[in-house]
Amino acid sequence: MRKFYTFILLALTSLISACQTPVDKSALINSNPKSILILPMVNNSTEVKFPEALLAIQSSQIVSEAGYYTFSPYIIKKFFADNGYHEAQEIHDIPLEQLRKIFGVDAVLYPVLENFGTKYKVLLSSSGATVSGKLMDTHTGEIIWKDSATAEKASVGLLDALIAQIADSLTDTASNFSIVAINDLLTPTPQKGLAPGHRSPERTSTPK
């Protein structure tokens, strides 16, 4: 039953792809980073709990499959914790030059959870997530890519709100949408996501 509702929720996300504004990838393409360090996600939402580990794993997998070298999120989190950094915002505040010296990467990704959760009103419920991210060139200190993505579902009317509450009791709706949002943010497509990296099949003609 859980898998059924998860499938339904993810199927609904086809609605979020309409009317998207293409993201500018020119600076990223010109910078042509080979390796990307993905920092832990900062939570700017009102919800204390969110699928941090799941989003970190998903982000790392997407960036790797896009053709960039990256690190295991577990190794990154442990490294920072061992060095006294336990909060994502503290890690985001570390100077870019210092991150380059430590990890030797070409770029650093700063992911942020802007909105997350399910909100209920009398005849309206809304579940979803908004994530944003910026990619900084460690050699120049410039932002070479930035974007945001939202995945959400609104239910209007007493029956729809009741159905939404039942579905939310069977599966973590907001968590599902946060995964959809991070995929929409990072996965290379003509309009959204990162540009294909140097290891991507789309760039087989580029020297490795």
pLDDT at position 121 is 52
For the chain, list the domains and their CATH numbers.
2-15+23-195 (3.40.50.10610)
Q: What is the mean pLDDT of residues 131-142?
A: 98
Kindly indicate the confidence band of residue 172, based on its pLDDT and cuts at 50, 70 and 90: low
Phi–psi pair at 58, nearest 5 degrees? -65, -40
Give the three-state DSSP class for 28: helix
Positive or negative: CA dihedral 123, 168, 185, 10 = negative
Kindly indicate the confidence band of residue 158, based on its pLDDT and cuts at 50, 70 and 90: very low
Quote the crossing angle between the two packed helices 158-170 and 173-186, to the nearest 10°: 80
pTM of the model: 0.80
Give the three-state DSSP class for 75: helix
Q: Which long-range contacts (CB under 8 A, 24 or more apart) does 188-192 make?
A: 188/66, 190/22, 191/20, 191/21, 191/22, 191/23, 192/20, 192/22, 192/23, 192/147, 192/149
Indicate the Cα dihedral angle 51, 52, 54, 59, nearest 10°: 130
How distant, in Å, are the alpha carbons of 81, 155, 191 from that of 149?
A: 29, 20, 12
Phi–psi pair at 59, nearest 5 degrees? -60, -45
Q: What is the mean pLDDT of residues 65-84?
A: 96
Longest dimension (CA), the chain: 58
pLDDT at position 116 is 81
Kindly indicate the confidence band of residue 118, based on its pLDDT and cuts at 50, 70 and 90: low
| Cβ–Cβ < 8 Å for 76, 51 | no
Residue bearing the bigger pLDDT, 204 or 145: 145
Indicate the Cα dihedral angle 96, 44, 172, 122, nearest 10°: -160
Average pLDDT of every residue of the chain: 81
pLDDT at position 174 is 66
Q: What is the mean pLDDT of residues 121-137?
A: 78
Residue bearing the bigger pLDDT, 47 or 91: 91
